[in-house]
A and B are shown apart, each in its own frame.
Chain A
Amino acid sequence: MDLDTLIQIGGSTIRLSTPLLLACLAGLFSERSGVIDIGLEGKMLIAAFFSAAFAFSTGSVWIGMLAGIAASMALSGLHGLASITFRGNQLISGVALNFLASGVTVLIAQVWFGQGGRTPSLMQGGRFEPITLPFAEALRGVPVLGPIYADMISGHSFLVYVALLAVPLTWWTLYRTRFGLRLRAVGEAPEAVDTAGVSVTGLRYSSLVITGVLCGLAGAYLATGLQAGFVREMSAGRGYIALAALIFAKWRPWYALFACLLFGFLQALSLRPDVVESVVSTTIPVQVMDALPYILTVVILAGFVGKAIPPRAGGEPYVKER
């Protein structure tokens, strides 16, 4: 195994981790405020569709991205309406949104484009182009670090760097702002927040707005960053892996980054069975690699590697008075 192979796997890891990371942080905001969100998958999917559809019709990837975020926020709002305002079951609402997104995207795509639930391929301008970071070419000559910087860190699309920056931003918001303190409190003890005169409903809705934006970015990245168009069910279970990563990360932003990078790395590794074979000198079935994120999550949940304690008020609709 040489440096080029490592760089390829590293680049692949970053690309595959990005949608997981955005979705994972989205879930983090929502669950930290006490709203369990199993509908990350559906939000990503609907954002992927609308970003591709609008990027195609307007020729601008930015308008596409905004449309994706708007669609994802609409689903988020629906989830809020069902589970905060009407105090419905949050799991059921999330599952329903996943089904809704899966059906609605194909239906609208078929009516709009008539291409069997897809959008047409996006041309230049409708896609996020790779960004070359400053000094990437100049530093390429530096041994080891140069190529890693130029080929692995640089050369991804805009949203990859947004996702990476979202991690410190999330940390800062949660742990260094008044809003963050209240958000964490509302997920642990909403009655205390309510007693202090802060609106539980308002806090939960605003965290769902953030969830919507982040899922929208994840979907836009899938359809207009990684791909050039929408294909039905293209989120392919990434929302669920993000949920697993969230548990793995014990609902903390920096841990979320590492969990998503780890899961992305495992996915990238499963694409290179030849590398795995040469390292461990025996054939590991690809299925085992694919299942590893879930196995690791179960290990965490079983308490073998520390304990994952969810926000205490998660899944409970807040009832002010009976």
Chain B
Amino acid sequence: MTFFAKTLGTVAALALSAGAALADPALIYDLGGKFDKSFNEAAFNGAEKFVADTGGSYRDIEIQSEAQREQALRRFAENGFNPIVTTGFAIASIMGEVAKDYPDTKFVNVDGWLPEVPENVLLINFQEHQGSYLVGMMAAMASESGKVGFIGGMDIPLIRHFGCGYAQGAKAVNPDIEIIANMTGTTPTAWNDPVKGSELANAQISQGADVIYAAAGGTGVGVLQTAADEGILSIGVDSNQNHLHPGKVLTSMLKRVDVAVYEAMKAGEGLETGKFMTLGLAEDGVGYALDDNNAPLVSDDMKMAVDAARQQIIDGGLNVVAYYDNDSCPVLDF
């Protein structure tokens, strides 16, 4: 960081601390965009809830390229927004750098990881494997063929983490169950290729899968569509996607990014930072969706078994192995 920018930052901070008594929060979306029906949209919903509940206001930006990340962070920090909430793991490292230049501003990131967390940074992570474990159980219970499918987006550890929890849940219900796992691709186009998602779903159906879990962003739209067309069940991800094909989507694995964003904005300048925060089943950070659209599909037995497992995971009686622990999954090869 240059001396010039530091001076600028200090001047801006001074000017603003004199002017604005109460700072507004700001929100920076990841490249997927604000309305991705999934991860970023959940963040947007959390921010809107903050506005509705507190009457406050916030600023947000949808970045269009990698290079805009640092620019957006600095602009918000220099204009006195506090806290600054960001989504997606990709912005975390640059945020760690920028945060050092603005010690009075608080920074929050969802999904990110840093080797050292600066004093004014909060990193929020979700235990996706726990939520995936629950929907895996439901998939195994709903399956009649003894084969369930998993379709991931881009082949990255985070997506394997989803798949691994899912496989463990399915195996817990039926140890003989076969899990057919595919990744859409290895480049970012894998998040937006519904055509390939459809063909993958067709391929899995021909291998006998009758419940398919899609953790694949826009590609998942194709998976859910084909599953509905072919008369099998699918499972949505991140946001509640049950309404996309009522009666055809078994459930959705919820990742409550909205809650995380809401809480961070509500805490405002009093936010506790300098640490990792992990949201799992116990904090309602992850879970499964149950609403009118899928109520007929979820039997009482299914619900009881899943809720029991949920309680066990919270109590510590049941340990779902995270893919990150040793970069491999005990029950599934990718």
Contact = CB atoms under 8 A, between A and B. Distances in A.
A271 B195 CA distance: 12
A207 to B, nearest CB: 27
B200 A271 contact: yes
Interface string B24-39: 0000000001111100
Contact of A231 (B41, B200, B206, B218): B218
B212 to A, nearest CB: 13
A290 B186 contact: yes
B303 to A, nearest CB: 28
Nearest to A110: B35
A229 B41 contact: no
A236 B192 contact: yes
B35 A115 contact: yes
A267 B35 CA distance: 30
A110 B35 CA distance: 9
B320 to A, nearest CB: 26
Contacts of B196: 236, 267, 271
Given A121-B244, A271-B182, A229 B199 contact: no
B189 A236 contact: yes
Given A116-B41, A229-B221, A231-B194, A15 B199 contact: yes
B222 interface: yes
B78 interface: no
Given A4-B206, A227-B195, A233 B41 contact: no
Interface residues of A, number: 36
B286 to A, nearest CB: 23
Contact of B192 (A121, A231, A267, A272): A231
Interface string A5-36: 10010011001100100000000000000000
Contact of B193 (A11, A110, A236): A236
Contact of A227 (B202, B203, B222, B244): B222
B257 to A, nearest CB: 15
A168 interface: no
A8 B201 CA distance: 12
Q: By CB atoms of chain B within 10 A, which of A16, A226, A231 has the most? A: A231
B125 interface: no
Contact of B199 (A228, A268, A274, A290): A268
A234 interface: yes
A4 B202 CA distance: 13
B198 A286 contact: no
B225 A233 contact: no
A287 interface: yes
Contacts of A110: 35
Interface in B125-159: 155
Nearest to B218: A231
Contacts of A233: 189, 192, 218
B199 A271 contact: yes
A271 B203 contact: yes
B199 A16 contact: yes
B203 A272 contact: yes
Nearest to B222: A227
B41 A234 contact: no
A130 B296 CA distance: 29
A117 B189 contact: no
B57 interface: no
A222 interface: yes
Given A110-B35, A116-B35, A117-B33, A226 B202 contact: no
Nearest to A230: B194
Contact of A232 (B34, B155, B218, B222): B218
Interface string A285-317: 011001000000000000000000000000000
A231 B189 CA distance: 12
Nearest to A9: B203
B159 to A, nearest CB: 14
Nearest to A5: B206
Contact of A236 (B33, B186, B195, B225): B195
A273 interface: yes
B192 A232 contact: yes
B36 A12 contact: no
Nearest to B190: A236
B183 interface: yes
Given A116-B37, A236-B196, A274-B207, 10 more contacts: A8-B203, A8-B206, A115-B35, A116-B34, A117-B33, A227-B194, A232-B218, A268-B199, A271-B199, A271-B200
Which 10 A-B pairs give the minimum distances between C-beta atoms?
A: A116-B35, A8-B206, A236-B193, A233-B192, A271-B203, A231-B218, A236-B189, A226-B195, A231-B194, A227-B194
